[in-house]
Amino acid sequence: MEPGDGTPFDRGGTSVHAPSCRSCLRSVSRHLASVIPDDRIPLIVGFVVDEVLAETGTVAMGVPGEQLEPLRAAIRRRLRSLGVPFRTYPLGGDLHVMSEELWDDIPEGRKAEIGARTAAVNADVIQGRPVPRRGIDWVTWGIL
């Protein structure tokens, strides 16, 4: 583990060490209390898988940090069981899920339609116009 970049946290000059590699983080994570998966995970997994199959990818937006890994694991289990090649990656509280192989297999006309929609959104962003986000919002699907 690498020492922290900041100053020591006490006057004795004790250095601060924090895990930075995946192996260290996994090792530390085992000793932390496990998180109880939220009740909405199965519902959101269904929506995500439907979107990946229809659109070759989607984003689960606003996922709380402690629920990110349980959601990601459930999505991965479901897509693997369907034999769908995919990638998942978290970014800023969102979980992106995409399948490049599904993209390669869709008809060119559908690719052009998705590309035109993407270009329109990019133009709106460049012009500073509000752009609705597209994806599955964690908050919307709260089970009461």
Q: For the segment 41-53, what is each residue's pLDDT rounded down to a tens digit?
A: 999 999 999 999 9
Q: Which residues of the chain carry a pLDDT beneath 50?
A: 1-2, 143-144
Output the pTM of the full model: 0.70
The DSSP letter of residue 14 is P
By the 8 A CB rule, do 115 and 124 touch?
no
CA separation, residue 23 to residues 31, 69, 71, 129 (Å): 13, 16, 21, 43
Residue 7: per-residue pLDDT: 56
By the 8 A CB rule, do 135 and 63 touch?
no
By the 8 A CB rule, do 114 and 55 touch?
yes
Distance, in Å, from the CA atom of 121 to the CA atom of 124, rounded to the nearest integer, reads 5
Distance, in Å, from the CA atom of 118 to the CA atom of 123, rounded to the nearest integer, reads 9
**How many CB atoms sit inside 10 A of residue 85's CB?**
11
CA angle 48, 51, 52 (to 5 degrees): 85
The radius of gyration of the chain from alpha carbons, rounded to an integer in Å, stands at 20
User: How much of the chain, in percent, has pLDDT values that exceed 70?
Assistant: 80
Residue 34: per-residue pLDDT: 77
Residue 49: per-residue pLDDT: 95
Q: Collect all residues with Cβ–Cβ distance below 8 Å to 10 and sequence separation of at least 6.
A: none
